[in-house]
Amino acid sequence: MPSLGQGILGGSRPKLLTLVSLASTCPAALDADLHRYHGGTLRQLRRTLTLRELSDITATLPYIPGSAVARAIDPEGWQWGQAEELLATVVDSLAWLMWQNASTPDKPAPNPDLYPRPWPTVTDDDNDDWVPTETFDTPTDYEAWRATQYG
């Protein structure tokens, strides 16, 4: 189970920075999760614990679907965890297997739709600047192309 200190908030964060970030961006959600998992709000726990202990507790709060911090950080995709992603992958795989069995050379079946995810999908239109590597004969050719693209 991932935790907040394992980089969910963006990269590897020091524990104290995780505490400060959550306390400033979503204090109510932090209080709710601290109360749920440790029996007290930030103010209540601050009276009995040192700042280091409180940082440790905050950094190890579980980042799971249903946690208040998960809802505050990702309001659209907070219900989507690792188990949901694995199940969606299984559904997609089964759809492709059924599609393979339904298609014949003279009557192809339409491609199956992927199970919807809570984030935007990447389409082929998003890759307009993609250039195949075989167009560059030497690293110098690549550098020249890169200079024209990115300055």
pLDDT of 150 reads 72
pLDDT for residue 3 is more than 60: no
Taking residues 74-103, report their average pLDDT.
85
62, 37 contact by CB (below 8 A): yes
All residues at 6 or more sequence positions from 92 whose CB lies less than 8 Å from its CB, including other chains:
112, 114, 115
d(CA 63, CA 33): 10
Q: What is the DSSP letter of 138?
A: S
pLDDT of 69 reads 87
Per-residue pLDDT band for 33 (boundaries 50, 70, 90) equals very high
Distances (CA, A) of 143 to 13, 129, 148: 35, 15, 9
For the entire predicted model, the pTM comes to: 0.54
112, 100 contact by CB (below 8 A): no
